[in-house]
Structure 1
Amino acid sequence: MRPTLQTVADAVGVSRSTVSNAYSRPDQLSADLRDRILTAAATLGYAGPDPAARSLRKRRAGAIGMLFTATLSYAFTDPYAVQFLQGLAEAAEQARTGLLLLPLSVDDEAAAVAAVNDAVVDGFCVYCMPDWHPALDALQARGLPLVSGQRRAGDGPLSAFVGIDEAAATRAAGEHLMALGHRRIAVIGDYFNVAPAIGPATLASPADVAYYTSRERLRGYQEALAKDGVDWSTISFVNVPGNCRTDGAAAAAYLLDRAPRPTAIAALSDIVALGVIDALRARGLQPGRDVSVIGFDDIPEAAAEGLTTVSQPAAERGRRSGRLLLDPPADPADSTVVLPTQLVVRATTGPAQS
């Protein structure tokens, strides 16, 4: 049988709590007694108290969970995710708290819900998840503190928000395109369709999108374009399965290989926008002259490519999320943090070509 705390206690002739102190509170025991306990444990093959069980007894796991619907490698390769994760990790490190990364599948929803239910954490940080994902309901059911950069109807009282005004950010980008005379505009983004495929999407309004970030960014563009009389029905939309440069290039190819091609393409992330630039160059077209391109995030590579984009503080967003999760404010009004954004105009946007 597997040795337990009681097995070691019986072998040494002490109480269970004394054996537990040998691992968690060694200052409570003499050096000789602790050595006898650890020697007996090693002989019996007892590795020590179960961390999960100990955390449940203490009502503290000593870790926070970060949830996202992507592969685990995404957190270490996507430039924006890397910055966000760096900020979150800094906050956890300062609080001497661990960080559990939970990549949740959109194809196996049952496994995603089980991962949330089984996670031994003190709270959750939601990175990017569509509104319909059942793991979000599982989060609410657990009743642990939750910080997200998204808003969803039905979020519970323990939910905090650290994000940006997505619509205001893209409104500024849309106004920039309007001032340059663009009227044939396309938008590329994720979760326009629930199906994870590259292809056109039909959106009667931004409200059709079941993903907060894309929905709000579309709403900003809609408001900016409507001010200049551009009808929403004239805009082309292409869905991409995720934040991937090759997918951005493939989505742009769908737009560029048809007539009339758009004079401006707005990508809802820089990675996708960089893919659009790749597609333009492959066709001998110059970004900013033949077709304007605008992104979102201002990742390091955006400046190198001269990409016009919206800058948002990724690392600070992660840092503030971690702090709010680990040290919740007494006043619920302080549980909402809206960080600033800025439109950064570079070479990939220019006057519309007739």
Structure 2
Amino acid sequence: MSEEKKWTLKSIALHLGVSNATVSNAFNRPDQLSKDKRQQILKACEELGYFGPNKAAQSLRKGTSNIVALVLPDSVEYMVSDPVASSFMRGVAGIIEERGNNILLFSGTQDNLNNVVDFVDGFICYGRPRNLNLFAHLSSVTKPVVTVDFDLPNRASVNIDNTQAAYDAASSALTQPQAQVAILGLRLLDTNVVCRVYDENLPEDLGTSIAHQRLAGYQRALREKHLTFLPELLWSIPESSEKYATIAAQEALSLTPRPNVLLCMSDLIALAAMRVAKSKGIRVPEELKIVGFDGIQEALLHSPSITTIQQNSVEKGKTAALLFLERSTQKVQLGYKLIQGQSN
């Protein structure tokens, strides 16, 4: 037995005294050999430490790898813990694996796709990358790309109407003429800290991300209700987590006068705000109305339940996967539902 030797298809065939085709068939085309012959070859290969033809070389020859890169907007560790992102990934995986393909998770914190572009069949990109190098590479790569929650020219995409959905959510809470509104936004600015956002900090085009689309919806609802919104009552939260959302909610609910409506760009932010309000003895919805976004189970089962926009993240993932496998360039807009909870 030689553990040191690096076997190839040619050298293993020579060692076993059979043809290259016979070894290849043992691994890839079992119907071409008798059962006993195949088992004999596979056992001998295993004992020698050879586990089959080089898959990377095979992929390059065939021009396909049956691997789809799922590009995430943040670290894999963070994304798998987020209920919305994990539901989306479950939807993608269900379709991709059902069709005999595999998924490679690619962190959006990486600079570019050069490390994987030669080994995958294409990309499903969940959320607009904040990394400009990564965004530029996705825009120019020649392999199939499906974008989710943002668009690229001539590429398939899956979205919901975030602006209209946010407008609907805000309108459900803005029922008082004296509403004092604070907005707990999600990644309105490219920063890793919780901070206030002022008009001069915002990009001119509020269509660049789902956060800016949702902000545009909130702003439209405020205008139609003839409500004045103070720029200092807008926060940017770097990630949808209790840790960061609690900081923003603590600041907002410590102000004088205190806001009586909180528009939150995710349910996790809304739930954190609910806990802060409870700790301060603020009654929801009598003294404070809270609205979320996403429709996660925890928000719907909370007491009081959160008014939220329910989007089907699993369906979004399935749709993106099907568009990819069909090599489509279709742009799909999925529906959503306003869930009227007890928080407003």
TM-score (norm 2): 0.88
- Give the counterpart of 2:301 among 291, 294, 304: 304
Structure 2 unaligned blocks of 5 or more: none
Aligned to 2:139: 140
Quote how far apart the aligned CAs of 1:277 are. 0.8
1:220 is matched with: 217
**Displacement of 1:270 after TM fit?**
0.3
Shift of 1:35: 4.3
Instruction: Report the alpha carbon displacement of residue 187 of structure 1 after superposing the two structures with TM.
Output: 1.2
In structure 1, distance between residues paired with 2:263 and 2:242: 14
The answer to whether 1:321 aligns with 2:320 is yes
Q: Match for residue 332 of structure 2? A: 337
**Would the alpha carbon gap of residues 131 and 74 (structure 1) be closer, same or farther in structure 2, given more than 3 Å must change?**
closer
- Relative to structure 1, the CA distance from residue 132 to residue 202 in structure 2 (aligned partners, 3 Å threshold; closer, same or farther) is farther
Mean Cα deviation higher: 124-133 or 76-85: 124-133
1:1-354 counterparts in 2 under 5 A?
A: 1-31=5-35, 33-105=37-109, 109-110=110-111, 113-117=113-117, 120-152=119-151, 155-157=152-154, 159-181=155-177, 183-204=179-200, 207=204, 212-231=209-228, 233-234=230-231, 236-305=233-302, 306-329=305-328, 332=329, 335-349=330-344
Contact 1:184–1:263 at 8 Å: present in 2 too? yes
* CA deviations over 1:45-84 (Å, ceiling 9, x no partner): 2221122222222222222222213333434432222322
Distance (Å, rounded) in 2 between the aligned partners of 1:229 and 1:266: 17
Q: Check 1:132–1:284 CA distance in 2 against 1; reply closer, same or farther (3 A cut).
A: same
Q: In the alignment, is the contact (CA less than 8 A) between 1:263 and 1:292 conserved in 2?
A: yes
Taking structure 1 as reference, are residues 270 and 186 closer, same or farther at Cα in structure 2, changes over 3 Å only?
same
Segment drifting more, 56-65 vs 206-215: 206-215
**1:235/1:171 CA distance change after superposition, 3 Å:** farther
Q: Secondary structure at the match of 1:193?
A: coil
Aligned counterparts of 1:252 and 1:127: Cα–Cα separation in 2: 27
Aligned residues: 337
Percent of residue pairs bearing the same amino acid type:
29
1: CA distance between counterparts of 2:117 and 2:229?
Answer: 41
Partner of 1:352: none
Q: Residues 211-268 of structure 1: CA distance to partner in whole angstroms, max 9, x if unpaired?
A: 5110111111112212233345546211111010221111111111121222211111
Change (3 A) 1:46 1:93: closer
Relative to the length of structure 1, the TM-score reads 0.86
User: 2:277·2:283 contact (CA, 8 Å) conserved in 1?
Assistant: yes
Q: For residue 125 of structure 1, give the secondary structure of its aligned residue in structure 2.
A: strand
Residues 270, 182 of structure 1: CA spacing in aligned structure 2 closer, same or farther, 3 A cutoff?
farther
- Cα distance between partner residues in 2 of 1:289 and 1:240: 26
Task: Name structure 1 gaps, 5 residues minimum.
Answer: 350-354
Q: 1:181 to 1:206 in 2, by over 3 A?
A: farther
RMSD of aligned alpha carbons = 2.4
CA distance in 2, matches of 1:233, 1:165: 25
What residue identity is the alignment partner of 2:172? H
